Amino acid sequence: MPERIYNFSAGPAVLPEQVLRQAAIDIVNFQNKGMGLIEMSHRSKEFMAVAEECEQLTCELLGVPAGYKVLFLQGGASSQFFMIPMNLLKKDQVATYLNTGTWSKKAIKEAKLFGRIEVAYSSEDLNFTRVPRDDEYTVNPASEYLYFVSNNTIFGTQFQEMPGKDAMLISDMSSDIFSRPIDVSRFGLIYAGAQKNMGPAGVTVVIIREDLLERVDEAVPTMLKYKTHAKDDSMFNTPPCFAVYCVGRVMHWLKELGGVEAMADRNRKKAGILYEAIDSTDFYRGHAERESRSLMNVTFTLADKELEAAFIRDAAAQGFDGLKGHRSVGGCRASIYNAFPMEGVEKLVDFMAAFAKKHQ
């Protein structure tokens, strides 16, 4: 088997190697049953145990309190852009959104189909280089909820602290869930696509407060009601079995490493090494403002596009893949999610120093 390279992709992203190796076995022969996991009925006792354990570990690692339901849904995180207002907002009701990047813009567009949306803050005129402080926006007291994206993969920004407003919080945590401790009790709903920190693409985890399940209008289609999936423990229809299984294996891996608190410390150290390399020279320039910097997606530019192209090309030749920035921003982006190894960050920093010395 060829040596594995360092995968800096923003998603689908790097997964723990031990999870991949175990999955490769279980796809062919799960628990010596003579058939693979992806061939088994989702209602078999074997897969039901997989799903139950995945839910239990999710609650344990995030500290999900009683009164919440964990759902494993399909349709990607983008489906939550409309499912949230479809389930929780009426036409005459208002919700507040913070516009801090591409994914919040998309969510705002969808939410406007279902209710009155107030955008309390936007950093679009700054090319999304920052997220707001609490004193930079107000929330309408009539708002049903305050929606925000906790980490912005494209622009490399992140809320270092969750909004401190007196409002029910709803957050897209697709790119930083399980990367640090959070107080779930402050949220009405949290959702995350799996393909950054949890597993392969195909499943979206939704954590929703149970009292919110009854808000939905009966005219909403059955499959698009959260309460449909809550009632049947995410088994109303065939779930994305393999993706759910992988999330469970990643949760085991995370628990073995010491849980979310230990992972947060590890993530701070990884990002600190990379940001120090950027800040120590004028050769590299960070995109995000320092107070808003992401620990998951480190975005930076070089002097010109030709130099950036050379950097990405030479990095790929050294086994550093996925460093090209998003087309809407350009530049470079190093995504260093939970499963990305410290060794890879250290080697990238060495490469950056050598490249700067060669081209400065």
Catalytic residues: 103, 172, 196
Separation between Cα atoms, residue 6 and residue 208, nearest integer Å:
35
Rounded Cα–Cα distance for residues 291 and 343 (Å):
26
- What is the DSSP pairing of strand 68-73 with strand 204-209? antiparallel
Name the token pair of 95: 């919700």
Tokens of 244: 């759910």
Beta strands in the chain (DSSP E): 6-7, 68-73, 94-99, 116-122, 143-149, 151-152, 157-158, 169-172, 187-193, 204-209, 285-286, 297-301, 320-321, 332-335
What is the distance between the alpha carbons of residues 345 and 320, in angstroms, rounded to a whole number? 10
Residue 255 phi, psi dihedral angles, 5° rounding: -65, -40
d(CA 49, CA 67): 22
Q: 163 with 141: CB under 8 angstroms? A: no
Q: Measure the CA angle with vertex 341, ends 337 and 345; round to 5°.
A: 90
SS3 of 158, please?
A: strand
The residues that bridge with 334 in the sheet, in sequence order, are 298
d(CA 309, CA 173): 31
> What is d(CA 172, CA 176) in angstroms, rounded to the nearest whole number?
9
- DSSP element (H, E) containing 283: none
